[in-house]
Amino acid sequence: MKQLVLICLFATLCCGQETFQPASTNVWGAEYPKVDNSGKVQFRIKAPEAKTVQVNFWGYQKLDMTKQTDGVWTITTPPQVPGFHYYTFLVDGIEVPDLNSHAFFGGGKDVSGVEIPEPGTNFYDVQNVPHGQVREIWYHSKVTGTWRHALIYQPPNYDTQIKGRYPVLYLQHGGGEDETGWIRQGRANFILDNLLASGKCKPMIIVMAYGYAGHAGKPEPSFAGKAFGSPEMMKAMQELASAFEDDMVQVLIPYVDSNFRTIADRDHRAMAGLSMGGMETFQVTFDHLDLFSYIGGFSGAAGPLVLGGRKLDVKTDLNGQLADPAAFAKKVHLLWIGVGSEEPKGMHDGLVNLHKALDEAHVQHVFYESPGTSHEWQTWRRDLKEFAPKLF
C-alpha cells in the first residue's frame, strides 16, 4: 500500500512539472496553443501540403515544427520568458496567423499572441477586487483634420462617487502598436485595479491615445522601408511626434478635461510611454512642463539621443530643462527611466548611459531595470506596476 501511495505521489509530482493547459490568449474553445508551468508552449497547425512550417516569435526565434502523419505540424518549445509574446506561423515562408489565437495589433498588423504565466505573479491578472471601466472616445482634431480614437480607464466608483475629481496619466503605446495595446497586451486596467485594491496607488484616470499623427493636409509619416534607428526613420518619428504633440496639447488634453472629472493642473497630470511612446512622452513633456510634472520612459526616452548613442548634454538637450537640477526637481516630481535587462544592446546601453549621465549631472530621477526581459510587454507591465504608485 505504501509503495502504491509513493508511486501515485511521484506520478503527481512529475505531471505537475509539465502540465500543459490552453493559453489564456486562445479564442473560445481552442485547445492549442498550450502552455505549462515551466514556460514551454505546444503549437499545432494543419498544413498537409506544406514543405516546411515554423513558429515565429515575432522576429526573435524561428523554430522548426514537425509534420505528423495526419498533416498536422507540431512543436513543444523550450521554456519562454514569462509574459506576452507575439507570434505567427511561417508556412513555406509565408507568414500566417494562428486562428486559434486572438489577434493583437503589433508590428503594424494583427498577429497572434500567447501569454506565458509567471509563477507567483498576479499583479496584472484579473482578481476579485473592485474594477474600473475602460471607455472609448472619438474626438475630431483640428491639428490632423481627422477623427481620432482613445481608450480611457476610469477607476472603480468613478460613476457612483460623482463629486470626485481625479489626476490623469497619459499612457502611450509603442511603434507598430496602437491605443488598444496597454489594455489588451499590457493589462493596464487590471494592474491599476490591483494596485488600488491593495492601497498602493491613488485613483487616477488613464488616457491611452492613438499615437500616430500627421498635420492636416500632409501625409502621416510612415516607418515603412526605413531601417530601425536610421536617420530616415528618426526623421519620420520626429515628424510624427511633432504632430502628435500638437494634437495632444491643443485638442486631446482640453477634450479630456472638458468631458471627464479631472484635476486639470500640472501637479495632477502625468505622461509615460513605452518605446516610441517614451520618445513621444519626453518630447511632449519637456516642451510643456507647464502641463506635466510626472514623466516616464519605459524602454524609450529621448529617442534620438538614446538611439544615436550620444551622451546627454544637460545644458542643451531636452530644451535645457536639466541645466539647473534643483529647479528641475521643483518642477518635475518624478522622472522615470525604465529598461529590460535583456533589451537589444543599443536600446539597453543608450538608456543605461542616459541614467548615468543624469546621475553625473545630479538630476533627480528613478532608474528601473526589469530582470530577464527584453523589449516586450512584461518589461512594460513591470514598469507600470512600479511607476503608478509614485504618482500624485
Which whole-number Å values give the CA distances from 67 to 150, 264, 288, in the listed order? 44, 60, 57
pLDDT by 10s per residue, the chain, length 392: 444 333 343 344 444 456 899 999 999 999 999 999 999 999 999 999 999 999 999 867 899 999 999 999 999 999 999 999 999 999 999 999 999 999 999 999 999 999 999 999 999 999 999 999 999 999 999 999 999 999 999 999 999 999 999 999 999 999 999 999 999 999 999 999 999 999 999 999 999 999 999 999 888 887 777 776 677 777 777 888 899 999 999 999 999 999 999 999 999 999 999 999 999 999 999 999 999 999 999 998 766 666 666 788 888 889 999 999 999 999 999 999 999 999 999 889 999 999 999 999 999 999 999 999 999 999 999 999 999 999 99
Structural domain for 297, as ranges: 133-390
pLDDT number for residue 312: 85
DSSP 259-317: HS-B--SGGGEEEEEETHHHHHHHHHHHH-TTT-SEEEEES-SSHHHHHTTPPP-TTTG
Residue with cell 487590471: 190
Domain stop point among 64, 83, 116: 116
Q: Is the pTM of this model over 0.85?
A: yes
As a whole number of angstroms, the distance between CA 374 and CA 377 comes to: 9
All three cell numbers of 216, joined, read: 492636416
pLDDT number for residue 300: 86
> First and final CA of the chain: distance in angstroms?
63
Identify whether residues 30 and 151 lie together within a single domain: no
Identify whether residues 164 and 247 lie together within a single domain: yes
Identify whether residues 386 and 319 lie together within a single domain: yes
Identify whether residues 137 and 106 lie together within a single domain: no
Count structural domains, the chain: 2
pLDDT number for residue 172: 98
Identify whether residues 310 and 339 lie together within a single domain: yes
Domain assignment present for residue 9? The answer is no
> What does DSSP assign to residue 138?
E
pLDDT number for residue 216: 93
pLDDT number for residue 384: 98
Choose among 141, 283, 150, 137: nearest CA to 216.
Answer: 141
Domain assignment present for residue 274? The answer is yes
Identify whether residues 148 and 104 lie together within a single domain: no
Identify whether residues 163 and 279 lie together within a single domain: yes
The vertex-186 CA angle with 183 and 191, nearest 5°, equals: 85
Identify whether residues 44 and 105 lie together within a single domain: yes
Identify whether residues 225 and 330 lie together within a single domain: yes
Domain assignment present for residue 143? The answer is yes
Identify whether residues 112 and 140 lie together within a single domain: no
Q: What is the CA radius of gyration of the chain?
A: 23
Domain stop point among 74, 91, 116: 116
Task: Assign residue 92 the CATH number of its domain.
Answer: 2.60.40.10
